[in-house]
Amino acid sequence: MAQIPVEIAEEIVDEFSFFDDWSDRYQHLIDQGRRLEGLPDKYHNDDYVLKGCQSVVYFAHEVDEAGHITFYGASDAAIVQGLVALLLRVYSGQSPSDILATDASFVGQIGLDKHLSATRKTGLAAMVSAIHAAAQEAC
């Protein structure tokens, strides 16, 4: 049985709690981004650039026959790529109802909200909004 987004978010919070200082947490975030599967070529164009992000963020989704949503994303900035990886890890492959029932509070629980620049916070909010909009659309 697949994990629900809340369980995945809790795993992420647990992972980040192992690191005592922020340089280690940032490195873990960057490592998450490096492990993110590559963006399919068909989404690597201006139609999929997410508005509201300072760095370039490509963001797309597909809905399968069962109604689950797969998200794809990539960024030209290492920390933002890590944020994309965390969000995709929680929300990709989930049903619209599970997506909508899971907020992004795990970002605050790991302390990222206090350690991101204002522009990165805006970009993060834009990504979360895009995820929820895709889920709303798929309902």
Task: Return the bridge partners of 72, or none.
Answer: 60
> Distances in Å between the alpha carbon of 61 and those of 28, 90, 98, 134?
25, 14, 16, 7
At residue 1, the pLDDT reads 53
Active site residues per annotation: 53
Other beta carbons within 10 Å of 43: 17
Domain ranges of the chain: 5-138
The tens digit of pLDDT for each residue in 46-56 reads: 999 998 878 99
Which alpha helices (DSSP H) does the chain contain, by range?
A: 5-17, 22-34, 78-91, 96-100, 105-109, 112-115, 118-138
pLDDT band for position 2 (cuts 50, 70, 90): low
At residue 139, the pLDDT reads 87
How far apart are alpha carbons 19 and 139 in whole angstroms?
Answer: 38
How far apart are alpha carbons 71 and 104 in whole angstroms?
Answer: 15
- Quote the pTM value: 0.94
| Phi, psi for residue 37 in degrees, rounded to 5 | -60, 145
The tens digit of pLDDT for each residue in 105-127 reads: 999 999 888 888 888 899 999 99
Which CATH fold would you assign to the domain 5-138? Answer: Sufe protein. Chain: A (3.90.1010)
Percent of the chain with pLDDT over 70: 99
The tens digit of pLDDT for each residue in 61-90 reads: 999 999 999 999 999 999 999 999 999 999
At residue 47, the pLDDT reads 96
At residue 77, the pLDDT reads 94
